[in-house]
Structure 1
Amino acid sequence: MRRLAGLLVVPLLLLTTAACGDDKGSDSASTAMTNGLPTITEGAKFGEKPTLAKGEGEPPKDLKVNVVSEGKGQTLKKGDVAQVDYLGQVWDGEEPFDNSFDRGEPFTVTLGGGGVIEGWQQALDGQKVGSRLEVSIPPELGYGAQEQGSIPANSTLVFVMDIVKGTTLPTSAKGTEVAQDNIDLPKVGTNTDGEKPSLTVPKKDAPAKLVSNYVIEGTGPAVKATDTLSVKYQGVLWKDGKEFDSSYARGNAPVSFPLAQVIPGWQKGLEGKKVGSRVLLVVPPDMGYGDQEQQGIPAKSTLVFTVDILAVQ
């Protein structure tokens, strides 16, 4: 199995009140880069698709971040959601291996929530919305000794990153508590302090069909199949209640992902649910990971999740 967090990515990046900043940084940035990073040869302004020169000499051994132009929006911190346009190239390469400019859709990442390489997390922390960055990421903060598509093992990566938008998320679902009166289903805590809710699985046979119930019903818009969600969640096995994945265990930060990229039980179970809600999902094997054992999850397992839907993009 790819754990749920392993699905919260786009190709080549794998691994409330909204405070949004759409102000653009200065468009007079020089193409003569400092700090020993490759030159941006075309498209130096925020919002323009850049091109990068080939890196010269030995790449930096540590993470390097150049602020090409600084924006005027909010300063990003752990737990915030950022939407970022980017172009990525290996240090000694002459062509990009990936970019979002051609797709016309920024990539959504939650700071501190995983789902992208560690070099991205560190580079974005403390930066202002509207900024353009050039970032050099050493292998240990990228893909390490693993080849990833056209990216060779042990590659230093260079990214140009435009921080298009930032959103500060609520820490928890908030709304109206919904009665949990079915004794055959798990019971979920209704705390709204941002901490992991309790989850108790009954010693009964698992339901054969998908269960998607409100625990707390929020007041936000209904989730669409095409949305990118920001959530907090935990997942346990029905058979023994053993936790196999949890955003709370990774620094209690939300994670962001396109709904279309996760298991069918999440896709069907969360579509139509209101933002701001806490949802109980009971996912049968045919809507989870099927008959294949995946990283300690036995084959044909029924999975139980609590999901706080904090925002959609």
Structure 2
Amino acid sequence: MQKFGRIVAAVAVGAVALGLSGCGSDDSSDSATPTTTSAAASAGSPAQGAPTESKGRECTADDIGVKGGFGEVPEITIPDDCDPPKQLVVKDLVPGSGPGAAAGDQLTMNYSLVTWSNKEKLDSSFDRGEPFELALGSGMVIPGWEQGLEGVQQGARRLLIIPPDLGYGAGGNGVPPNETLVFVTDAVTVPQ
């Protein structure tokens, strides 16, 4: 089983036990692609517990640099001039088509994960050539994926910026404590 699949199963169980949940609302950006923020906010603790000075504003989806199209290994750039968002941020970078994913749907996703604190790639199904399969809403992935993949359409490339409370929280399996996660996901298959 892939690294991400092992980690998210354990975290999802812990998150459910803590009762983490959230609902989406529209972001105020002028982007034509969907951008949502979760009502579940993080305490905003920096990774590894080290204090960091605020940059004065939270980053938005538009601040994250992503090169490459659907099916290509994405290059993800996290800026130095803004703070990690404290709420889930979701934005389609490439639109998909067909019905949007809903709870119970079996999805096949490719993804690349960059951690905010060190701006380095931690995991990538693209690099392994092995897409990740999941049943949406089953609790087998972190809450940020469960919420962030709702409505995704086949063929979409979606950016997810996941705060610690919807990700790996206290850390583990290579993810530092209180880490904000940046995923670029490709929806390879969504039930039609």
For residue 112 of structure 2, give the secondary structure of its aligned residue in structure 1.
Answer: strand
8 Å contact kept, 2:60–2:85: no
Counterpart of 2:5?
10
- TM-score of the two chains, using structure 2 as the length reference: 0.67
Counterpart of 1:195?
none
8 Å contact kept, 1:144–1:153: yes
Question: Which structure shows the bigger proportion of residues in helix conformation?
Answer: 2
For structure 2, list consecutive stretches of 5 or more residues without a partner in the other structure.
12-32, 34-58
1:144-179 CA deviation, whole Å, 9 max, x = no partner?
A: 12x2233210001000000000237xxxxxxxxxxx
1:106 to 2:101 alignment: no
Greater relative CO (CA pairs within 8 A, separation 6+): 2
Q: 103, 117, 122: which one pairs with 2:147?
A: 122
Q: 179, 184, 190: which one pairs with 1:155?
A: 179
Q: Cα RMSD between the aligned structures?
A: 2.1
Counterpart of 1:35?
61
Q: 96, 100, 109: which one pairs with 1:75?
A: 100
For structure 1, list consecutive stretches of 5 or more residues without a partner in the other structure.
1-8, 16-28, 169-313
Counterpart of 1:135?
160
For residue 127 of structure 2, give the secondary structure of its aligned residue in structure 1.
Answer: coil
Letter of the 2:76 counterpart: L
For residue 13 of structure 1, give the secondary structure of its aligned residue in structure 2.
Answer: helix
The CA deviation at 1:35 is 3.1
- In 2: Cα distance, 1:55 partner to 1:151 partner: 20
1:99-157 CA deviation, whole Å, 9 max, x = no partner?
A: 00111111011111011100000011112111001110010100112x22332100010
1:84 to 2:109 alignment: yes
- In 2: Cα distance, 1:166 partner to 1:70 partner: 13
1:53 to 2:77 alignment: yes
- In 2: Cα distance, 1:142 partner to 1:101 partner: 20
- In 1: Cα distance, 2:94 partner to 2:128 partner: 23
Letter of the 1:35 counterpart: A
